Amino acid sequence: MAKIHVNTTINGAPTEFLCDANQTLLDVLRDSLGLTGSKEGCGSGDCGACSVMVDGRLVCSCLVLAVETQGAKIDTIEGMAGGDTLHPLQKKFIELAALQCGICTPGFLVASKALLEKNPNPTETEVRYWLAGNLCRCTGYDKIVTAVLEAAAEMREGAR
């Protein structure tokens, strides 16, 4: 079957690719475009390791067909740092040891950024429920939640 031509904007850059009808966005990002920062932990939308933004909406890229992203704006972990400066969330994750093995980290960062864009001042409970779609098996979530709360406080401070 012929491949399908798709035009998107990924991390701000116009990006086109060819895909099969049954390929997921995650497959295309990882296998065709070399953006391996998004991870496949389950392929069923349960672990959140493949979290990306599509037109400003947080999605599991393993549950999105690549052909659905025609004309879409996609943001992945690779676009999170600005030039040579890490995003405050990225800095806090390192500073507070919010990662151990690091496989879930890209997904958590993308999801956390999406939260803070919606709600710059979340409570601990709001952070915990927002991130309930992201599995981490190493940290017990404690330091992740703390890092998100501290990054949020710092970003609010910086925005003033």
Partner 1 sequence: MSSQGKYKWIGTRPDRPDGADKVTGRARFGADFSLPGQLVGKVLRSPHPHALIKSIDTSKARALPGVKAVITAEDFPEQANLIVPAGEMQVNLRDVTRNIMAREKALFEGHPVAAVAATSEAVAKQALALIKVDYKVLPHVIDVADAMKPNAPVLHDHLLTEGANPPATKPSNIAKRIEFAKGDAKAAFAKAEVVIEKSYTTQPVHQGYIEPHAALASATEDGQVQLWTTTQGHFQVRGFCSRLLDIETSQIRVTATEIGGGFGGKTVVYLEPLAIKLSQKAGKPVKMTMTREEVFRATGPAPGADMTVKLGATRDGRIVAASIRIDMQAGAFPGSPVGPAAMCSFACYDLDNVHIVGFDVVSNRPKVAAYRAPGAPISAWAVESTMDLLAQKLDMDPVDLRLKNAAKKGTKTAYGVTFGEIGMVQTLEAVKNSAHYRSAVKPGHGRGVSAGFWFNVGADSSAAAHVGEDGSVTVISGNPDIGGSRASLALMAAEELGIDYDKVRCIIADTASIGFNFVTGGSRVTFATGLAVVNSVRDMIREMKVRAAKIWGVDPDAVTWENGMAKPAGSNVGEFEPLTIAQIAAQAGKTGGPINGHAQLNVTGAGPGFGVHLVDLKVDSDTGQVTITRYTAAQDVGTAIHPSYVEGQLQGGAVQGIGWALNEEYIYSAGGKLQNPGFLDYRMPVASDLPMIETILVEVPNPTHPYGVRGVGEVPIVPPTAAIGNAIARATGVRMTDLPMSPPRLSEALDTAPARMAAE
Residue ranges that bind partner 1, judged by CB under 8 A: 30, 35-44, 46-47, 49, 76-78, 80-81, 86, 90, 93-97, 99-106, 109, 124-125, 127-129, 131-146
Q: How far is the CB of 160 from partner 1 (least distance, A)?
A: 25
Of 36 and 71, CB closest to partner 1: 36
Q: Do 47 and 104 meet the contact criterion of CB atoms below 8 Å apart?
A: yes
Residues 21 and 83 sit within 8 Å (Cβ to Cβ): no
Nearer to partner 1, 64 or 87 (CB): 87
Question: CB of 133: closest distance to partner 1 in angstroms?
Answer: 8
Shortest reach from residue 156's CB to partner 1, in Å: 21
Contact (CB, 8 A) for 150 and 92: yes
Q: How far apart are CA 123 and CA 4, in angstroms?
A: 44
* Min CB(124)–partner 1 separation in Å: 8
Nearest residue to 109 via CA among 28, 57, 156, 49: 49
